[in-house]
Amino acid sequence: MKVTVAVWLCMMVMIGCYAQEVSRGVPLALGKSDRYILFPMLVKSPEYKWGAGAAGIYYFKIKPDSLTRTSNVKLVSFVTVRKQVVLASESNIYFPHEDFILHLIVSASHFPDKFWGLGNTTPSSAEEDYTISQYDIYPQLIRKIRPNLFAGINYEFQNVFRFQYDNKQGESLFDTENIAGRYGSKISGTGIVLCWDSRNNAFSPSKGFYIQYFVNAYRDFIGSDFNFNIQNLDVRKYFDLHHDRVLAFQLNMIAASGSIPIRDFSVMGTNMYMRGYYEGRYQDKNLIAFQTEFRTPVYKRWGAVLFTGIGKVGPNLASVVNGQGLKPSVGVGLRFSLNKKEKLNLRIDAGFGKHSQGTYINLAEAF
């Protein structure tokens, strides 16, 4: 425990120094811009246990414009004690007057993982190990139709080029449940997206409303090994309670149909919703998750949050909206402001689920 605290103190000092230098206009990287934040980082989650690496964010405006939110590019790379290797980048580019918004996720990973079968009631004793190597690219481009209303297109390409598991002479869950994608998979899919976004900040909103619906179709004629559809509805609302206190709500629903490979099932337990569960502990074609979060400043750059949520997975939409078998999630968190002006926070969350617990270290708010 003392070692962990010492590491955290060192990291907080380094981050604080970096953030202060940026706020004074001192560049942390070569070039004319003073909008870099670079720092070593620790990662912690039920899936990773512990890991270490480096992270950075570059935030900018394509053209000075008081009506346009700040664009950002986040980069993260780390290795974990479970021999997982992750390289990832996420970008949100706001074009002048927000006529267009580009969202881009690119990742590559080598990932030992766990599987308990499909469904909302899988037993802990069913746990199996498997390992995947993959890369993924997900661009989304939306255009403003009217103030706060956007429409556009999605595309995703994912290549799971290595999938290893112990077939146990055909007794593995992957075989007995005939799980698609257990020999590897390539998926390629495109679709449409509709979005209403009146949030006042990209990193940590204090007011506004956000709703996004998208549907993607994955088909063999555009390079997919499997034919399936995924729909997602993401609804968020933020209330400004004054004195920088915020009450936030989110509803997330995912509905899928067709031959879905294992890495594309809806999963309960991520660093964004249903915190406290191992990501993938419960998974199926459909998911519903609702969460609320109270955020408050504490002292200078420090803040705190309280959050709670409920959710479940199931084989069809009716099975997840009937209100039965919902699983709880509660937790607390700390926030450290990396940049007060842009409201960019480092977050540390401790989530608790049913017979499970998870600690998370990440950039920006969960939602």
| Per-residue pLDDT reduced to its tens digit, 84-105 | 999 999 999 999 988 999 999 9
If pLDDT is split at 50, 70 and 90, which confidence band does 230 have? very high
pLDDT digit string, tens, across residues 318-327: 999 988 999 9
CA distance 262 to 66: 44
User: Integer distance in angstroms from the first to the last C-alpha of the chain?
Assistant: 30
Quote the tokens at residue 328. Answer: 């709880």
Instruction: Please write the tens of the pLDDT for every residue from 161-201.
Output: 999 998 777 789 999 999 999 999 999 999 999 999 999 88
pTM of the model: 0.85
Confidence of residue 14 (pLDDT cuts 50, 70, 90): very low
**CATH code linked to domain 2-363:** 2.40.160.50
In this prediction, residue 37 carries a pLDDT of 81
**What band does 31 get if pLDDT is binned at 50, 70 and 90?**
very low
pLDDT tens string 57-72: 898 888 877 778 889 8
pLDDT at 261 over 90: yes
Residue range 280-300, pLDDT digits in tens: 999 999 999 999 999 999 999
pLDDT value at position 1? Answer: 40
User: How far is Cα 112 from Cα 109, in angstroms, rounded to an integer?
Assistant: 10
Instruction: State the DSSP string of 92-121.
Output: EEE-GGGSEEEEEEEEEEEEEEEE--SBSS
Nearest to 232 by CA among 186, 184, 267, 281: 267
Alpha helices in the chain (DSSP H): 2-23, 173-176, 317-321
- Judging by DSSP bridges, how do beta strands 286-299 and 282-284 pair with one another? unpaired
- Write the DSSP symbol of residue 243: T
| Residue 300 backbone dihedrals phi, psi, to 5 degrees | 50, -115
Q: Is 308 in contact with 326 (CB distance < 8 Å)?
A: no
Distance, in Å, from the CA atom of 292 to the CA atom of 236, rounded to the nearest integer, reads 10
- Tokens at residue 267, please? 């999963």
